[in-house]
Amino acid sequence: MRRAFVEGLADLADADDRIVLLTGDLGFSVVEGFARRHPKRFINVGVAEQNMVGVATGLAEAGFLPFTYSIATFSALRPFEFIRNGPVLHDLPVRIVGIGGGFEYGTAGYTHHAIDDLAVLRTLPRLIVLAPADPAQARAALLATWSRPEPIYYRLGKDEETLVPGLDGSFELGSLTKVRDGTDLAIIATGAIAAEAVAAATLLEGLSAEIHIAATISPIARRGLIDILSRHQTIATVEGHSEVGGLGSLVLEVAASRGLPNRVVVCGIPPAKAFRNGGERHLNASVGLTADRIAARIRKSMRALH
């Protein structure tokens, strides 16, 4: 996802000299192409993410379109107050690019696991928060949003290969994308873990699941969500993110605010900091974020209902 995104950005920068890429000294094998093609608009600011966002704010105020790049915990959480008081408060088109959602940095440990970025960033007004599901959608999201006036957070995965079946690189800001029809329940997934959610639907043994990809976390795709909540009693949300404050919370907020009596099965990362060491797959399995475990939770929930 990240390579597709940065290559797309370099292409855009050919035609728009407002685009500047800042990195907090990360992006080995990802940012070099941009740096080679646009050396005067590529700046490695060093390991200093607060200053990176502050400098981007100053650049944006003068008319540039700065993209700040780092691992999601460092690009989003470390300078949170700079994002809040800078691009958000000043309403400037700074783009925060955060790499690796959930457990994508596996063995690197808790310091590198962005499991709370969506929760905190979606509190910020007018900040567009995006979590594409695969490389084609990441590129489409960039092309659809890069020149918008609002500040934007792009949460990008590291997987450059996996494509979500049925998604076909589609993206529309503020909308959900349906990738499969179904009649018994709906699954809504965001970010790179969406592929697991789609796989889970094939393991539901007689249950027919409608599947939607929620690449836009903020602004809320309210109309689409209400439509889904109105048509399906059971909703399963799937995210590589804390169960607190992310996609699941968002769906629950919309349901409760409309007085809708849905059952929402939130498949995310339980609030904990004592995760075992291990790779992404191992960590996802430890919290039930694999296709078979997601399917098992959904089946159990549906049984309990009837």
Partner 1 sequence: MTVTRDASRIAEAAHLSPTEFARSIRRLVLEESKRANVGHIGSALSIADILAALYGTAVLRDGAGQSGERDRFILSKGHAALALYAALHLQGCLSREQLATYCRDDSLLGVHPDRALPGVDFTTGALGHGLSYGAGAALAGRMLGSDRRVFVLMSDAECNEGSVWEAAMFAAHHQLSNLVAIIDANGQQALGYTSEVLDLEPLAARWKAFGWEVEELPGHDVEVLAARFDSLPAPTGQPHVVVARTVFGRGVSYMEGQIKWHYLPMSEAEYEQALREVAEG
String of DSSP letters for 29-51: TTSHHHHHH-GGGEEE--S-HHH
CB of 18: closest distance to partner 1 in angstroms?
10
Spatial contact of 233 and 182, defined as CB atoms under 8 Å apart: no
Q: Interacting stretch for partner 1, rule CB under 8 A, among 44-52, 126-134, 179-187, 264-272?
A: 44-52
Q: Which residues pair with 238 in a beta bridge?
A: 189, 267
Select 89 or 244, whichever has its Cβ closest to partner 1: 89
Select 58 or 278, whichever has its Cβ closest to partner 1: 58
Q: Any idea of the CA torsion for 285, 224, 120, 70, to the nearest 10 degrees?
A: 70
Phi, psi of 25, deg, nearest 5: 65, 35
CB of 89: closest distance to partner 1 in angstroms?
6
CB of 117: closest distance to partner 1 in angstroms?
20
- Binding to partner 1 by residue 61, rule CB under 8 A? yes
Select 54 or 100, whichever has its Cβ closest to partner 1: 54
CB of 62: closest distance to partner 1 in angstroms?
3
Looking at 9, 45, 213, 215, which residue binds partner 1 (CB under 8 A)? 45
Phi, psi of 196, deg, nearest 5: -65, -40
Spatial contact of 21 and 69, defined as CB atoms under 8 Å apart: yes
- Binding to partner 1 by residue 55, rule CB under 8 A? yes
CB of 14: closest distance to partner 1 in angstroms?
17
Question: What is the chain's alpha carbon radius of gyration, rounded to the nearest angstrom?
Answer: 19
CB of 76: closest distance to partner 1 in angstroms?
16
Pair type for strands 128-130 and 177-180: unpaired
Looking at 10, 30, 31, 54, which residue binds partner 1 (CB under 8 A)? 54
Q: Interacting stretch for partner 1, rule CB under 8 A, among 56-64, 143-151, 168-176, 265-273?
A: 56-64
Assigned token pair, 189: 């997934």
Cis-peptide into 151, omega within 30 deg = no
Distance of alpha carbon 130 from alpha carbon 111, whole angstroms: 22
- Binding to partner 1 by residue 46, rule CB under 8 A? yes
Picking from 152, 144, 120, the residue whose alpha carbon sits closest to that of residue 8 is 144
CB of 23: closest distance to partner 1 in angstroms?
13
Looking at 57, 237, 242, 249, which residue binds partner 1 (CB under 8 A)? 57
Looking at 14, 62, 253, 281, which residue binds partner 1 (CB under 8 A)? 62
Looking at 5, 34, 64, 103, which residue binds partner 1 (CB under 8 A)? 64
Picking from 229, 94, 76, the residue whose alpha carbon sits closest to that of residue 156 is 76
Q: Which residues of 160-183 are buried (b: 16+ CB within 10 A; e: fewer)?
A: eeeebeebebbbebebbbbbbebe
CB of 51: closest distance to partner 1 in angstroms?
4
- Binding to partner 1 by residue 89, rule CB under 8 A? yes
Distance of alpha carbon 205 from alpha carbon 198, whole angstroms: 14
Looking at 15, 39, 40, 304, which residue binds partner 1 (CB under 8 A)? 40
Select 89 or 226, whichever has its Cβ closest to partner 1: 89
CB of 58: closest distance to partner 1 in angstroms?
2
Binding site for partner 1 (CB under 8 A): 20, 40-41, 43, 45-46, 48, 50-51, 53-64, 66, 81-82, 85-86, 89-90
